[in-house]
Structure 1
Amino acid sequence: MSVPPTRSAPAPPPPPPETVPHLHRSLRRFDIMAMGVAAVISFDVLGQIASGGGEAVTWIAVIAAGFLLPYALVFAETGAAFPQEGGPYVWVKLAFGRTTAALTTLFYWVTNPVWLGGSLVFIAAESWDGFVSPLGSGTVADYTFKLLFIWAAILTAIVSLRRGKWITTAGAAAKVLALAVFSGTAVAYGVEHGFHGLDHASFAPTAVGFLGLVPVLLFAYVGFEAPNAAGDEMHDPQRDVPVSIGISGLIATCCYLLPVLAILSAAPAGQVTGIGGFMDAARLVFAVYGGWSGPLLTTAAVLFVFALLTQGSAWMIVSDRMQAMTAADGGFFSRGLGAFHARLGTPVRMNLLSGITATLFMVAAMHLASGDAAAVFGVVLTVAITTLLLSYLAIVPALIRLRLRRAEVPRPYEVPFGTRGFVVCASLVYAWIVLGSWVALFPGTLEHLVGLRYDFADTWGVSRATFETFTLGTVILLLAIGAAGLWGRRARD
């Protein structure tokens, strides 16, 4: 008589790659949500999105439903099931091994010093120069402001998370307050002067508009999993992560949709630019305040710059932890880069490396396009978009593999319809990421494929050769650095 096989007990959740000393549980649900809002709501892309015209509003809504919703579902489940310090690095390592995880994390991490030293610092300097105090272009004052901006963001990442979280929380509050005040002021302006921008805006979707907006909109919506990089510093990640992702995702959608509508209602057609969109529109609508418009506009500009600064800080806090975990696990040059400070509980060495990287990229970007700030902003933002989206080409398949191969891991939250629902949602997210990555790396190619006219120099303000030097050149350089980091670590092991 055969004996039925005994069913093995469910395996416990996998441990982190390595126990990280000096960590303190500092993040509660509100803190996780605020960090997600501070990181994901990107002030610097509002003008870039609004420059797409009326159809930008349509595509914000479409991509929110078709991409953000399934994205939030799969990352909420995975973040609650695998809440270890390092977040996406741990997920990719468990699915595909250390080499793939190390390269993926490198792209995820480097996005942020590139973004801080390029997109964020340039739009902050442009706003300060135009609304607070003149800086000029390429002057000592310009360089000084940009260096102070970069290293202030790094400093807020270095301080202990118990204190640093309040800086990012203040930044999240500043963003929501500034966007709410701006949107309300735009309505008051429209009531008084008419909503002329909307009168001429076409909300009908087009293929040209879609291809132009899809990378920047995906970039605007990704990142809600970022707080998971500090998973071991959360009090109750299994319960708090899904709720935080859901709430911050809803807030982000509103904070893109309403201000873009407000910008389009106020700014004359064709005059919305990527680098000046938000503050230029604010200059127009604040006229309703009469003699108070000048001081209020200056205050708004300072608030705007502070929000940009804390946006960079939030990403430095989480991405530096991911890269530090990679280094500590032997995937990036020296394990010493993964050390967490005994008193602060932060990866100070990796924070400093991010600051140096951001500074070098800022100096390189200053020489791009002969100082044309708008062209610099657009190209550098695209570099950041490219590196971040490319990292998800490994992260999303890792989520699917973990769902299929590690189904025994307890999942406090599950995507509707179980494994099938998870795979469908993740596959949809992956299709969007592939499309966005291609368009970001090779703009204009899909337009030519379907017979649409595309003037590269007119669109970007630089030649294709200059553009690809920054985008493809950055990708190739990162692959070389990643390979060197892995080889150098193994050579010493």
Structure 2
Amino acid sequence: MDQRAQDDATVLQRSLRRFDITAMGVAAVISFDTVGQIATGGGQAATWTAALALLFLVPYALVFAETGAAFPQEGGPYVWVKLALGRRAAALTTLFYWVTNPIWLGGSLVFIAAETWDRFVFRLGSGTVADYTFKLLFVWAAILTAVVSLRRGKWVTTVGAGVKVLALALFTGTAVLYGMQHGFQGLRDAHFAPTTGGFLALVPILLFAYVGFEAPNAAGEEMHDPQRDVPAALGRSAALAACCYLLPVLALLAVVPAGQVTGIGGFMEGARLVFDVYGAAAGPLLTLTAVMFVFALLTQGSAWMIVSDRMQAMAAADGGFFSRGLGAFHPRLGTPVRTNLLSGAVATLFMLAAMQLADGNAAAVFSVVLTVAVTTLLLSYLVIIPSLVLLRLRRPDAVRPYRVPCGTGGFLLCAGVVLAWIAVGSWSALFPGVLEHLFGLSYDFQDQWGVSRLTFESFTLGTVALLLLVGAVGFAAAHRRDQASRSLTSPRRPSSDAD
């Protein structure tokens, strides 16, 4: 990393301990918006959730625990890809990883938050002044949390993680009480046997739900003891995430009639049903849960902004994305304020574009925008995972406080399994229905997504194409600027008659 990036790193303050890293992982990765979306897969959603926890999450956690402890520099995945494949590949990969989060914040998170507030707190309407105001406040409150110093901002995400786990536990426990009184009709009607169609539909969203535990490594130089704390925190947060997905999905399927679970309203609609066991207290308790739900969504966005903005800032400071000024860390706050504001602008623009796409259909926007976020994030892992392998092979002497069992062979096996899952998920997210047709399965695109394939692919492939263009232009602009800067500062050769 060049001198400018090192200078920016000098303003960083070590404020993250093991508990903070675990809480940040929980706040970022356990996604309220994906619980309902996963449950739309019916009984086999629980089957695939458990299967991927074992066959994907475990090897994923192992390889990132080793790499995160061995290479704890600020910037995390940006640094890993740069060390393995160079600055250009690292800058483009980081762009895909980073942009996922303002897209997600301005798309799926803000839409499910507004829908929840509209249904359970007070009416906002669709496309009204109140609707736009709520969504803008939501986006910029998340950005503000990333702007303040990490020493303070971490407590917002920590509280959000606690609220999230509490709300999920409350819902799951209440669903059990409801089932004991009214019967678990949903489980009797659910079909848990896995199918090829269910696999192809669920894999992208499940992978999106399970990835991201390496994100706190983006603040590696703000951790007190990353080499010891990262593996332990990653293991704890991953185990907690598996439980926080599987148990609520089972509870949701148990109480909501088959075929009536929706991605955007699934969790809260399930809560509305099961809170009937509380009698007269059901209404106020449901409203309180809705507020907790929205707050948890907000802090989820904040946690990702905190970590992914640091990655993008380090890429800019290192000369890989437009102006190095985007990578400047505030001398007092120790945060990349300019990149934070850029994230807010992207999230706002994407929210406005998504509202035009929906034309009042929030459920369609939720599904399509969530898939765009899934696509950009999974594509970044197609570069990150091979980079981890190259670091393992090329830098065997790096201090590795934690190692994947069975040495290099175990590491390569785990990385290969993870990469295979990511490849299938990326293809299914980019081109839904293609693999289904190859396997002879029926697939009605309009019925599945609520929009035409042209609209869907315009949003997904259009986003990918735009990011590739932005990445190429950004790197070229940074390269030209650096060349111009070097030519101005380099000593001039004395003139002679021969010149």
Pair in the same fold by TM > 0.5:
yes
Which residue, out of 244, 250, 271, partners 1:282? Answer: 271
Match of 1:122 in 2: 111
* Separation (CA, whole Å) in 2 of partners of 1:301 and 1:450: 41
Match of 2:54 in 1: 65
> Within the alignment, does 1:252 sit opposite 2:241 as a pair?
yes
* Separation (CA, whole Å) in 2 of partners of 1:229 and 1:16: 17
Secondary structure of 2:320 counterpart: coil
> Within the alignment, does 1:461 sit opposite 2:450 as a pair?
yes
Query: Does the 8 Å CA contact 1:17/1:90 hold for their aligned counterparts?
Result: no
Number of residues paired by the alignment? Answer: 481
Q: How does 1:92-111 map to 2 (within 5 A)?
A: 92-111=81-100
* Separation (CA, whole Å) in 2 of partners of 1:100 and 1:326: 11
How far the C-alpha of 1:14 sits from its partner, in A, is 12
Query: Does the 8 Å CA contact 2:2/2:318 hold for their aligned counterparts?
Result: no
Query: Does the 8 Å CA contact 1:16/1:84 hold for their aligned counterparts?
Result: no
Match of 1:5 in 2: none
CA 1:371–1:414 in structure 2 vs 1: closer, same or farther (change >3 Å)?
A: same
> Within the alignment, does 1:337 sit opposite 2:291 as a pair?
no
C-alpha deviations, 1:412-449, integer Å up to 9, x for none? 00000000100010010000000000000000000001
Secondary structure of 1:351 counterpart: helix
Match of 1:146 in 2: 135
Structure 2, unmatched stretches of 5+, are 483-499
* Separation (CA, whole Å) in 2 of partners of 1:397 and 1:478: 21
How far the C-alpha of 1:199 sits from its partner, in A, is 1.0
Secondary structure of 1:290 counterpart: helix
TM-score, scaled to structure 1: 0.97
Which residue, out of 398, 405, 408, partners 1:416? Answer: 405
* Separation (CA, whole Å) in 1 of partners of 2:480 and 2:217: 31
Secondary structure of 2:6 counterpart: coil
Which residue, out of 154, 177, 186, partners 2:175? Answer: 186
> Within the alignment, does 1:18 sit opposite 2:6 as a pair?
yes
C-alpha deviations, 1:7-26, integer Å up to 9, x for none? xxxxxx99996341210000
Query: Does the 8 Å CA contact 2:114/2:134 hold for their aligned counterparts?
Result: yes
> Within the alignment, does 1:376 sit opposite 2:351 as a pair?
no
Match of 1:44 in 2: 33
Structure 1 letter corresponding to 2:308: S
* Separation (CA, whole Å) in 1 of partners of 2:347 and 2:86: 29
Query: Does the 8 Å CA contact 1:45/1:216 hold for their aligned counterparts?
Result: yes
C-alpha deviations, 1:131-183, integer Å up to 9, x for none? 00100000000000000000000000000000000000000000100000000
Structure 1 letter corresponding to 2:80: W
> Within the alignment, does 1:306 sit opposite 2:295 as a pair?
yes
Secondary structure of 2:107 counterpart: helix
C-alpha deviations, 1:39-74, integer Å up to 9, x for none? 000000000000000000000011111100000000
Secondary structure of 1:18 counterpart: helix
How far the C-alpha of 1:370 sits from its partner, in A, is 2.0
How far the C-alpha of 1:490 sits from its partner, in A, is 1.1
**What RMSD in Å do the two structures reach over aligned CA positions?**
1.2
Structure 1, unmatched stretches of 5+, are 1-12
Match of 1:477 in 2: 466
Structure 2 letter corresponding to 1:376: V
> Within the alignment, does 1:397 sit opposite 2:386 as a pair?
yes
Structure 1 letter corresponding to 2:14: R
* Separation (CA, whole Å) in 2 of partners of 1:239 and 1:116: 31
* Separation (CA, whole Å) in 2 of partners of 1:423 and 1:492: 39
Query: Does the 8 Å CA contact 1:16/1:90 hold for their aligned counterparts?
Result: no
* Separation (CA, whole Å) in 2 of partners of 1:82 and 1:170: 28
* Separation (CA, whole Å) in 2 of partners of 1:276 and 1:213: 18
Match of 1:385 in 2: 374
Match of 2:162 in 1: 173
CA 1:94–1:317 in structure 2 vs 1: closer, same or farther (change >3 Å)?
A: same
Match of 1:4 in 2: none
* Separation (CA, whole Å) in 2 of partners of 1:134 and 1:271: 23
Structure 1 letter corresponding to 2:373: A
Structure 1 letter corresponding to 2:449: W
Secondary structure of 1:367 counterpart: helix
Structure 1 letter corresponding to 2:6: E
Identical pairs, percent: 75
Query: Does the 8 Å CA contact 1:118/1:381 hold for their aligned counterparts?
Result: yes
